[in-house]
A = this chain, B = another copy of it.
Amino acid sequence: MTSNALPTVIATLDIGGTKMAACIADASGPLLRVVQSTLKSGKPDTIARQGLRLIDQCCQQLQIDPAALQSVGVSSCGPFELRDGATGFIPPNLCGGLHNGDDLPNDWTFLPLESVLRERFTTVRIANDCVAALHGERTFGTAPANSIYVTWSTGIGFGLCVDGHILNGKAGNAGHAGHMLLSDTSEVLCGCGNRGDLEAMLGGRNFGKQLGKPLEVIFSDAQQGDTHALQVVQEAARWFGRALYNLTTILDTEAIFIGGSVWRHNEALLAPLVQQEITDRFPALTRGVTVQGATLGELVTDMGAFALVLPTMWVNDWRARRAWESLRSESIADTH
């Protein structure tokens, strides 16, 4: 196979602070997904090399020659940093060398990614996990030219599309809107050092802590009509809606797609409250803006990574057959 030929197989990596997943696909769709805990000790290139090994293990199980792979799409936690023109990342929950990573068994301050993957792949496309997710929703779902993807989970992250262009920014960090300052009175501290930004106030990690109860209990109490729990949820939806209103007025957005565990488990309760908070304001910009659950579910970042490198001629067939729905997922034992 020459480098100009269309690929017969492609690979993806989805790198998170807790788990990493590799997938292989051919024209028929994604074939296998293998998952492993993300390594947290060794040299700074540990994580990128773990990704390469995971792809190899995926190939081995599928009896595919790893040399047939030339393209890899990567969705990764961030933020990203460019060094010598190559994308690496500095996630606070993996880098022990950053001020707020004292509980991690490493002194990492920068993790190379693109430079390592280029040793093996001709085409390497990397996007923040939520940016990748929006590529997924645009390619396989119904997200229109002016749309937002947001995940409300432990953290809160965004992918932003304007005029059909998914935003990257100077180092691929567009969409870090979870670190938008919302409140001038909230004292809750975010991992980034801010007080009163969206993620500090509503990210799953902090939100539960502030309430002194697990998040699931609050939502379940609210669903059963507990007045105090309902107030807490309404207040949270109001802040989340204010953030989405801000993005709508900044970007002139048409549709908002929401994923992540906090949203998925409580969509029926949250959706009308969030919708109301947006459309109550500045009608010229918010009229007709829709809020809905993401369509790709838990595979959204993997499918987003595929969208980054997918040959155009595979797209319609994958969409028509919802090729991702039959994807097999396997856990691989930790190696550390």
Query: Which A residues fall within an 8 A CB radius of B?
Result: 78-79, 81, 90, 145-146, 158, 160, 162-163, 165, 167-177, 179-185, 192-194, 242, 245-247, 249-254, 281-282, 284-285
Most buried by B among A165, A173, A180, A250: A250
Residues of B within 8 Å of A176, CB to CB, are: 249-250, 252, 282, 285
From residue A138, how far is it (CB to closest CB) to chain B in Å? Answer: 15
Measured CB to CB, the nearest residue on chain B to A194 is: B281
Q: Which of B79, B172, B181, B254 contacts A182 (CB 8 A)?
A: B181
Are B245 and A173 in contact (CB-based, < 8 A)?
Answer: no
Residues of B within 8 Å of A185, CB to CB, are: 184-185
Decide: A162 near B168, CB < 8 A? Known: A249-B179, A284-B81.
yes
Q: What 19 additional pairs, Cβ within 8 angstroms, besides A160-B250, A193-B281?
A: A79-B284, A79-B285, A90-B284, A163-B168, A163-B169, A168-B252, A169-B251, A170-B254, A174-B252, A176-B250, A176-B282, A177-B246, A177-B249, A179-B281, A180-B250, A181-B242, A185-B185, A192-B281, A250-B250
Q: Which of B81, B170, B179, B253 contacts A169 (CB 8 A)?
A: B253
From residue A239, how far is it (CB to closest CB) to chain B in Å? Answer: 9
Residues of B within 8 Å of A81, CB to CB, are: 284
Are A172 and B252 in contact (CB-based, < 8 A)?
Answer: yes
Q: How far is the CA of A137 from the CA of B211 in the complex (A)?
A: 48
- Chain copies in complex: 2
From residue A161, how far is it (CB to closest CB) to chain B in Å? Answer: 10
Q: How far is the CA of A205 from the CA of B179 in the complex (A)?
A: 29
Decide: A146 near B162, CB < 8 A? Known: A90-B284, A281-B192.
no
Q: List 17 A-B contacts (CB under 8 A).
A: A79-B284, A79-B285, A90-B284, A145-B170, A146-B170, A162-B168, A163-B165, A167-B251, A170-B253, A172-B252, A173-B285, A177-B246, A179-B281, A179-B282, A184-B185, A193-B281, A247-B250
From residue A160, how far is it (CB to closest CB) to chain B in Å? Answer: 7
Residues of B within 8 Å of A254, CB to CB, are: 170
Measured CB to CB, the nearest residue on chain B to A147 is: B170
Are A182 and B184 in contact (CB-based, < 8 A)?
Answer: yes
Measured CB to CB, the nearest residue on chain B to A160 is: B250
Most buried by B among A163, A172, A194, A251: A251
Q: Which of B169, B172, B184, B250 contacts A174 (CB 8 A)?
A: B250
Residues of B within 8 Å of A160, CB to CB, are: 250-251
Residues of B within 8 Å of A183, CB to CB, are: 184
From residue A277, how far is it (CB to closest CB) to chain B in Å? Answer: 10
